[in-house]
Amino acid sequence: MVHDHARAEDIAREVFISALRRLRDTERPIAFKPWLYEIAKDACIDEFRRAQRAREVPLEADHDDGEGSSGPLIAGGTTPDREVENKQRLVTKRATNAVSNVSQTASNVTNTATNTVNNALPNAGGLIPGH
C-alpha cells in the first residue's frame, strides 16, 4: 500500500503501539483481527494523505525515481558561513553608524553648550569680579 518497505515497517510499528495503547484504555471485548486491520488501514490512509502533501526527497545525489531528479540538495547562492559573515558585516556597519551618530549628537550638544556659554559670558562681564 505504501510502496516503501522501510516506511511500511514504521507504519506497522506505529499500528502496534497504537493498538497497545487502545487495548489498555478499553475494558470491552475486542474482535482483535478486524480491529487491528482497521487501525492498520487507517494508518496507511493517513500516510498516503501525508505523502500527498509533502513528498520525501532523498539526500543522495544519484537517486532517480523516474520522475526526474531534482539534483543534489545544495542551496544555490551563498553558504551558511558566507551568510554568517554577511550578517556580521551588517551588524558591524550598523553598530559603527550608531556610534558615529551618537558621537555626532554628542558633538552637536557640546558645540551648542559651548556657544550658549560663550554667548552668555559677554553679558555676564559685570557679574564676574575683576572684569
One digit per residue, the tens of pLDDT, for the chain of length 131 reads: 667 788 888 888 999 898 888 888 888 888 888 888 888 888 888 888 887 776 666 676 554 555 555 555 555 567 888 888 888 888 888 888 887 777 777 777 777 767 676 666 655 555 555 55
* CA–CA distance, 16 with 22 (Å, rounded to integer): 10
Domain extent listing, the chain: 5-53, 79-131
Give the three-class secondary structure for 36: helix
The pLDDT value recorded for residue 54 is 67
Long-range contacts of 2-5 (CB under 8 A, 24+ apart): 2/44, 2/47, 2/48, 2/51
Rg of the chain, C-alpha, whole Å: 37
Which cell numbers hold the place of 66?
523516474
